[in-house]
Amino acid sequence: MEEMERIERAATALSKLGKPEVAVVLGSGLSGVLPLEQEKALSFGEVPGFPVPSVAGHAGEVAVGTVHGRAVLVQRGRVHHYEGHPLVDVVFPVRVYARLGVRTLVLTNASGGIAHGLEAGDLVLLSDHLNFLGDNPLRGPNLDALGPRFPDMTEVYDRVLRKKAHTVAAELGLTLKEGVYLATLGPSYETPAEIRAFRAWGADLVGMSTVPEAIAARHAGLKVLGISCVTNLAAGVSPQPLSHEEVIETSQRRAADLGRLLTALVPRL
């Protein structure tokens, strides 16, 4: 089956849930931060072609409902390249949302803090990214129905959306920082030497997701907003060993604030 046909089949299945213009991807430990009214949901396994997550903290569910009257799609959990999924499958949901009519994509994640001054629990808007996955989701035949062969990546994370996020955060009394996110393949955490190199290259945050989805979304013409929850300080910055349990615990601890931000912000995107 050709990829566009696979995308169309999944979009047809999801269209039964509703017609949202905004989609939100909720990362590690964040699946419950954005409740929907009048929700209809499908598990990843019920959507043709959707890959199923295997990592703790990723529910694997797509729901459509309303937030203050605005139709919104929420993806609870994601799959990662390190799980063995090819990038074409990692970004498959994003491409389906584009065909469904979504025009704005909010990507959330859990990350390690690299930059001096970042602390566990900080919420950080992504201003740019570095792709160190060793692959690109656009590699291979171009899907002309979605976007051009050589899409511009000058501004992956929309400047206007970031300004709106800062405005809403200030109204809520929340602090939002900004930073550059570097994606590594994983699943091993980074070494202290790697973190020193990443800092020298301009990275403020490090994680194992988001970048492929952002690239695919921009290829398809979607506006993208990225929000990272710093769940731990990266290797060599933190004196403690890194663990996935710490990532989930910190994500859940900051879930209430992120939920407040998204609930107020998403209807205004």
- Name, in order, each residue with C-beta under 8 angstroms of 162's C-beta and a sequence gap of 6 or more: 125, 127, 178, 225
Distance of CA 129 to the CA centre of its chain: 12
Q: Is the pTM of this model over 0.85?
A: yes
pLDDT tens-digit series, residues 103-127: 999 999 989 999 989 988 899 999 9
pLDDT tens-digit series, residues 47-103: 999 988 766 555 689 999 999 999 999 999 899 999 999 999 999 999 999 999 999
Question: What stretches of the chain adopt beta strand conformation (E)?
Answer: 22-26, 37-43, 61-67, 70-76, 104-113, 123-132, 176-184, 205-207, 223-233
- Name, in order, each residue with C-beta under 8 angstroms of 121's C-beta and a sequence gap of 6 or more: 229, 230, 231, 250, 253, 254
Which CATH number is 66's domain given? 3.40.50.1580
Query: Does residue 31 carry a catalytic annotation?
Result: no
- Count of structural domains within the chain: 1
Query: Does residue 219 carry a catalytic annotation?
Result: no
Provide the pLDDT for residue 151.
98
What does the alpha-carbon distance between residue 165 and residue 169 come to, in Å, rounded to a whole number? 6
Catalytic residue among 11, 28, 183, 255: 28
Query: Does residue 129 carry a catalytic annotation?
Result: no
Average pLDDT over residues 238-256: 63
To the nearest 10 degrees (0 to 180), the angle between helices 92-100 and 3-15 is 60
Provide the pLDDT for residue 29.
74
Average pLDDT over residues 181-206: 95
Query: Does residue 232 carry a catalytic annotation?
Result: yes
pLDDT bin (cut points 50, 70, 90) of residue 170 is very high
Query: Does residue 188 carry a catalytic annotation?
Result: no
- Name, in order, each residue with C-beta under 8 angstroms of 75's C-beta and a sequence gap of 6 or more: 23, 24, 25, 26, 61, 62, 93
What share of the chain in percent tops pLDDT 70?
90
What share of the chain in percent tops pLDDT 90?
80
Provide the pLDDT for residue 231.
84
Look up the domain containing 252 and give its range: 3-268
